[in-house]
Amino acid sequence: MDWLTFAGSFAGSVSGLLTAWFINRRIEKEKLRQSRELQEAQNLFEAGVSSRMAQVAFDNLVEFCKEYAGEMLRALETLSGDQEFRDPLDAAHFARIRQEWALWLTPAIDKQLGRFELRIAQIIGGAAPDFDASGVPVSNEKIIAQQISFLRELLRTEALAAYRSEFLFSPSARARGRT
């Protein structure tokens, strides 16, 4: 091996090592930046969730959900003929509840609830029955189950309960003495 071949080989090796080192350094810097951003987002989330206003908003949303779900259950039981009520069934009851709790609802939830209330009004008004994919009329029980499922998804009750549980029982919550 002559001097020129050795120098070229050595220069190539050093160049490759330096390139790998710079790439590795850049990757590590990016990982560090992402880690800091994630930590900052987690801190902001935790501070927001633990704030008094977040707790009030959550509690009010839960109260709204309970009242709205109660009215929905009353309406669905009335529609299915399982119960007799002195008050006539009126879809405006839903709108009244929604307006009463409007401060605690997002515009998206408010809009979806409006669609839900329209569907209930159509059912109350004797709209044509729903049919499944095979053309068979859908039973009252299935309509009730669909409306309950729709409302659960819309109000994200399961997700809210999971977030609240995760926050209350996380290691950082135990460290703060919240459990």
DSSP per position, 96-109: HHHHHTGGGS-HHH
> Which DSSP state fits 32?
H
Q: How many residues are recorded in the chain?
A: 179
Per-domain boundaries in the chain: 1-49, 56-176
pLDDT band with cut points at 50, 70 and 90 for residue 86: very low
> pLDDT tens across 30-75, in order?
999 999 998 888 877 777 667 777 778 888 888 998 898 888 877 7
Let me know: does 95 contact 117? Beta carbons within 8 Å. yes
pLDDT at 179: 44
> pLDDT tens across 94-145, in order?
888 988 888 888 888 888 888 888 777 776 666 555 666 676 666 666 666 7
> pLDDT tens across 2-41, in order?
777 877 787 788 888 888 889 999 999 999 999 999 888 8
Expressed in percent and rounded to 5, the helix, strand and coil fractions of the chain are 80, 0, 20
What residue type is assigned to position 148 of the chain?
I
Q: Give dist(CA 131, CA 142) in Å, integer.
A: 11
Pick 132 or 155 by higher pLDDT. Answer: 155
Q: Give dist(CA 119, CA 5) in Å, integer.
A: 82
Pick 160 or 18 by higher pLDDT. Answer: 18
Q: Give dist(CA 49, CA 55) in Å, integer.
A: 7
